[in-house]
Amino acid sequence: MRVLITGAKGQLGGALQRCAPSEAVITAIDVAECDLTDAAALRDVLRRTAPNLILNAAAYTAVDKAESDEATAQAINADAVAVMADAMAATGGKLVHVSTDYVFDGTAASPYSPDAARNPQSVYGRTKAAGEDHVRDSDILVRTAWVYEAGGANFVRTMIRLMKEREELGVVADQIGSPTWASGLARTIWGLVAKDASGTFHHSDAGVASWYDFAVAVAEEAHALGMIPRIPVIRPLTTADYPTPARRPAFSLLDSRATRAALGDEPVHWRTNLRLMLEEEVQLG
């Protein structure tokens, strides 16, 4: 099985490489190997590597910057997906494309199912939804949210850095979802590939949290591991207290029950995975 992984240096791209099955012959690319805004360069990479399977973990994820850089976000989040899907259609291969909770508007009162109506409220969300539209029925679309990984650029590591520097900080408490450990997401993706699945799936860790809840848990777990000298005062903020260029969904909990049923496994609570990630972070030094 010849596998091309995009976004190789990102959190999910790295996790996909670490979790790869032994039979997978991996080619992993990032922007240094191929700028996904260059469709011709991407087609050349696809021609040279001739993958049976593409795991597209690359994305333009600078949510606020995308509001003033829509062309680049569109090229990476949508146009490049079209090139990959066309390549797999021509060779009979499969595309696994990773998308986001931002394709939803955040007005729901219960977790979003894979077939829920999309209504993105930001450039990032719109370009990711446009990318989804290029995924074929025979491919795999996986939506996720709030991704973090040891050693990556993410909310958890940002909080730990701030908690070392400050005695008090504020975190938004009126945006609700569930964190996702990239290692668990990677295992789900490889599991779906092994099952020869197709269609749309959701994956996030079990449980519900606001960013404030997540930050409090990071403080408690990091302090227990000796990563921060004290637990700071954490004040809940509203979205209005912390305005940003891009509108974020107030509620973006994903219903992952169908994914767990397809794989025959049980969901893991986000706090359990947070603890595992922080233990890895300690090992990394």
Rg of the chain over Cα atoms, rounded to whole angstroms, equals 19
- Return the pLDDT at 285: 80
- Return the pLDDT at 278: 98
CATH of 2-152+179-206+252-268 given 3.40.50.80, 1.10.10.10, 3.40.50.720, 3.30.70.660: 3.40.50.720
- Return the pLDDT at 230: 96
**Host H or E run for residue 168:** strand 168-172
At 30, give phi and psi (nearest 5°): -135, -170
Q: How far apart are CA 123 and CA 246, in angstroms?
A: 8
Q: What is the DSSP letter of 202?
A: E
Question: How would you write the pLDDT of the chain (285 residues) with one tens digit per residue?
Answer: 999 999 999 999 999 999 999 999 999 999 999 999 999 999 999 999 999 999 999 999 999 999 999 999 999 999 999 999 999 999 999 999 999 999 999 999 999 999 999 999 999 999 999 999 999 999 999 999 999 999 999 999 999 999 999 999 999 999 999 999 999 999 999 999 999 999 999 999 999 999 999 999 999 999 999 999 999 999 999 999 989 999 999 999 999 999 999 999 999 999 999 999 999 999 998
Strand partners, 199: 140
Q: Which string of DSSP letters, residue by residue, matches 174-211?
A: S-EE--EEHHHHHHHHHHHHHTT--EEEE---BS-EEH
**Hey, what are 217's tokens?**
């848990």
User: Catalytic residue numbers?
Assistant: 124
